[in-house]
Amino acid sequence: MPAELIAKTDQYERMLTDALEVAEIAVPPTTPLGRAARETREMARSYLEDGRHFRADDDPVNALAAFSYGYGWLDAGVRMGLFTIPEDSDLFTTI
């Protein structure tokens, strides 16, 4: 396996793990947006688990795809205002 693929997979697993730790739901939990935020977080967690499963099965391509997709869910949620993040975070794109 190319070292670049392994390095990128490691990077995105760390990014998704860190992003899940710092992104806090920013909307009231009983509203439709609150439900959307919870579902978005759950999707990101599920993709993290999937990526780890693929990695354990020696499938870094699908692991990277899962980590990237999960990270994308959280990043989109931040941009839509579903989550708050620390001001000094460089994990997410900003508007």
Q: Is the pLDDT of residue 79 over 60?
A: yes
Handedness of CA 77, 83, 89, 94 (dihedral sign): positive
Q: Is the pLDDT of residue 93 over 80?
A: no
CATH of 6-84, one of 1.20.1270, 1.10.3470, 1.25.40, 1.10.1330: 1.20.1270
- Higher pLDDT: 53 or 95? It is 53
Contact at 8 Å (CB) between 92 and 19? yes
In the chain, where the domains are located: 6-84
d(CA 70, CA 63): 11
pLDDT of residue 91: 73
This prediction's pTM: 0.89
pLDDT digits (tens, 9 = 90+) for 37-55: 999 999 999 999 999 999 9
Contact at 8 Å (CB) between 74 and 23? yes
Q: Is the pLDDT of residue 95 over 60?
A: no
Average pLDDT over residues 74-85: 91
